[in-house]
Structure 1
Amino acid sequence: MNKAIKMKKVVSLILFLAMSFSMSAQDKKAKDLLDKVTTKIKSYTNITIDFKYALNNSKENINKESKGNVILEGDKYYLNFMGITKIYDGKKSYTIVPEDEEITISSIDEKDENAITPSRMLTFFNKGYKYYWDITQDVKGRKIQYIKLIPTNTKDARKEILLGIDSQTNIIYNVIEMGKNGTKTTLTVNSFKTNQPLSKNQFTFASSRYPNYYINKLD
Structure 2
Amino acid sequence: MKNKFRIFLTLLAGLSLSVYTPAAAQNDKRAASILDAMSNKYKSMTSFKAVFTYSPEGGRDMKGDATVKGTKFRLKMAGQEIFNDGKTMATYIKETNEVNLQDFDPNEVGDLNPTRIYTAYKKGYKYAFIKENTEGGQVYEVVELSPTSASSQVSKVEIKVHKKDKSIKSWKITQKNGQRVTYRVDQFQPNVQVADSFFAFNSKQYPGVEVVDLR
User: What CA distance in whole angstroms lies between the structure 1 residues aligned with 2:139 and 2:27?
Assistant: 18
1:177 equivalent among 173, 176, 190: 173
User: What CA distance in whole angstroms lies between the structure 1 residues aligned with 2:161 and 2:42?
Assistant: 12
Larger radius of gyration: 1
**Distance verdict in 2 for CA 1:113–1:102, change over 3 Å:** closer
User: What CA distance in whole angstroms lies between the structure 1 residues aligned with 2:27 and 2:90?
Assistant: 42
Equivalent pair of 1:30/1:131 in contact (CA under 8 Å): yes
* Aligned equivalent of 1:90: 86
Please provide the CA RMSD for this pair. Answer: 1.8
Q: What is the TM-score with the length of structure 2 in the denominator?
A: 0.83
Cα shift at 1:217: 1.9
1:213 equivalent among 206, 209, 212: 209
Higher relative contact order (CA 8 A, sep 6+): 2
Cα deviation digits, residues 158-191 of structure 1 (max 9, x gap): 1100011111111111010011111110000011
1:198 equivalent in alignment to 2:181 = no
- % same residue: 26
Aligned residue-pair number: 191
Equivalences for residues 1-219 of structure 1 within 5 A: 27-56=28-57, 62-112=58-108, 114-219=110-215
Match of 1:155, SS state, is coil
* Stretches of structure 1 lacking an aligned partner (at least 5 in a row): 1-23, 57-61
* Stretches of structure 2 lacking an aligned partner (at least 5 in a row): 1-24
Equivalent pair of 1:73/1:118 in contact (CA under 8 Å): no
Equivalent pair of 2:85/2:196 in contact (CA under 8 Å): no
